Amino acid sequence: MSRVSCTSRREILSFGAAAAFLLPATGIALADGSRARMAAKNGASVPKGAARTEKTSQTAAVLRDVWVGHIFWVRVVSVALVNKQEAAAIVGEHQAVENAKSIAATIKPLYGSAAADNFFKLLAGHYGAVKAYLLATIAEDASAQSKAIQSLTSNAGEIASFLSKANPNLPKDAVYGLLLAHGSHHVQQIQQLKEGKYEAEAQTWEEMKAHVYQIADATADALAKQFAKKFA
């Protein structure tokens, strides 16, 4: 087994363990793979007894769409670079950046242009850290992999701080835990693509999709709670 493979597995385990440690205390339940897929299939992860307004459901649907776009285009870039398909990687990266702008734009009507711009910078940092890990994995550079994961972890904290300050219904620890888990999915997917473990990566994709649905739903519910009159 190569040095990079050993390092990557340790990084994945430690990154995932951090996410798992934080999540039980967050107040936002992260389902295991099967429960998450069931929630996604049923269309919502609203706590039992709660009901969304039509506007909240529409917001959740929009957020799900842009977050799935994020993981889709990052995967396109990952597959292209692993397979040395430069043209495809260029197009995928352009779309990934445009998608980040779309995610950031979702907060503009409620928080303003400056907040949306700051959010985009943070999302760009997230993508940059994921790409850095991807390139390090392709190059089999264990040191660069570790540095990229440090950047990914730091960026998760920055995004969590930003969102929790904007909306008290998004506790920092909760958001941080969700983003650590999200980052861990990226790391795992990249490693699986690099190693040609496509069946395992297909399972990771399903878990990633279910997880970003939870991020979208939690965000929509938090916005509806903060801006109750707008979502009535």
What are the pLDDT digits (tens) for 85-118? 999 999 999 999 999 999 999 999 999 999 999 9
Confidence of residue 46 (pLDDT cuts 50, 70, 90): very low
In Å, what is the CA distance from 162 to each residue of 116, 220, 231? Answer: 11, 16, 22
Least Cα distance to 107 among 51, 158, 159 occurs for 159
CA distance 135 to 98: 21
**Mean of pLDDT values over 124-143:** 98
- pLDDT value at residue 51: 76
pTM over 0.85: no
- pLDDT value at residue 165: 98
- pLDDT value at residue 199: 98
Average pLDDT, the chain: 85
**Mean of pLDDT values over 66-72:** 98
Confidence of residue 52 (pLDDT cuts 50, 70, 90): confident
Domain boundaries in the chain?
3-25+54-231
The residue type at 26: T
Evaluate if residue 36 carries a pLDDT over 50. no
Token pair recorded at residue 200 = 């395992």
Confidence of residue 50 (pLDDT cuts 50, 70, 90): low
What share of the chain has pLDDT > 90, as a percent?
78
CA-based Rg of the chain, rounded to a whole angstrom?
Answer: 17
CA distance 68 to 55: 20
- pLDDT value at residue 183: 97
- pLDDT value at residue 20: 36
